[in-house]
Chains A and B, each alone.
Chain A
Amino acid sequence: MPLPSASMNIFNVAGSAMAAQSQRMNVTASNLANAESVAGPDGQPYRAKQVVFEVAGNGGQDIGGVKVAGVIEDSAPAKMVFDPRNPHANPDGYVAMPNVNVVEEMTNMISASRSYQANVEVLNTAKTLMVKTLTIGQ
């Protein structure tokens, strides 16, 4: 009888995906909030961050949950905007703005929220089935 292995529990799989997607949403929120932040704590313009997803397979398995392998900084060049009155403007009158692509971030947000929803649905279905399994023979 194939018993569900403890390492690949459906609740763990869907839960890890929800955690990963919510982290992605957090990063998107940070990017959107700082789309106009000309200077961060280090005096440099904000750089867009992106999460990298990876399969959290148990012992080299190629199926399993999701984990966030890391948060990388977008390497796209900063947007240069002509604004000579800005105190951060360079001698030519250009200000380095964050490299956040607002359209990309919005689509990222929608994708993350849809994926999150799908995983919630999986979780709910699994929960209903487990409850029904517990009432066998009653």
Chain B
Amino acid sequence: MLQGLDDYFATRMAALGLRAQRSETLASNIANADTPNYKARDFDFASRLTQAVEQGRQSQSFALATTSSRHLAGEAKSMPDQDLLYRVPSQSSIDGNTVEMDAERINFADNALRYESNLTVINAKIKSLLSAVQQ
């Protein structure tokens, strides 16, 4: 049952984690808008989510080494690797900085909204579980 619960939330949890990670990346871009030679970074959310969910399914990537048959089998999900991409600026700047404030802020707001919608869905899932329990 607990495994089922885990699966029930797995995709949403992975999406939430990735959204948080992306908001950090975008915050770094906004923070470094005036830093010479800073290159704006981002990642492809869709492919990273697929990767994270796939890795969650086949979670034999990290198994705890055991020396006795009575040891518990510890399993850890591996983190998706940090493959940050570079943003291609539509206008270049003289100091080598590729942050475009408007694009970054739009991306950040969009990301925040999607994070929030994820939260809403998780809340709704919990509510439906609870109502099933209370029947």
Contacts and interface: CB of A to CB of B under 8 A. Distances in A.
Interface string B1-37: 0000000000001100110110111011111111110
Interface residues of A, number: 37
Interface stretch (A59-67, A71-79, A83-91): A59-67
Interface residues of B, number: 39
A78 B24 CA distance: 43
Nearest to A111: B34
Query: Closest 4 interchain pairs by CB?
Result: A17-B31, A63-B28, A53-B35, A137-B126
13 contacts: A3-B17, A8-B24, A10-B24, A14-B30, A17-B30, A53-B32, A55-B38, A62-B41, A64-B28, A125-B109, A129-B112, A129-B115, A129-B116
Given A17-B30, A111-B34, A137-B122, 10 more contacts: A2-B20, A3-B79, A14-B27, A54-B35, A55-B38, A66-B35, A129-B116, A132-B116, A132-B119, A136-B123
Interface of B: 13-14, 17-18, 20-21, 23-25, 27-36, 38-39, 41, 52, 56, 77, 79-80, 84, 101, 105, 108-109, 112, 115-116, 119, 122-123, 126
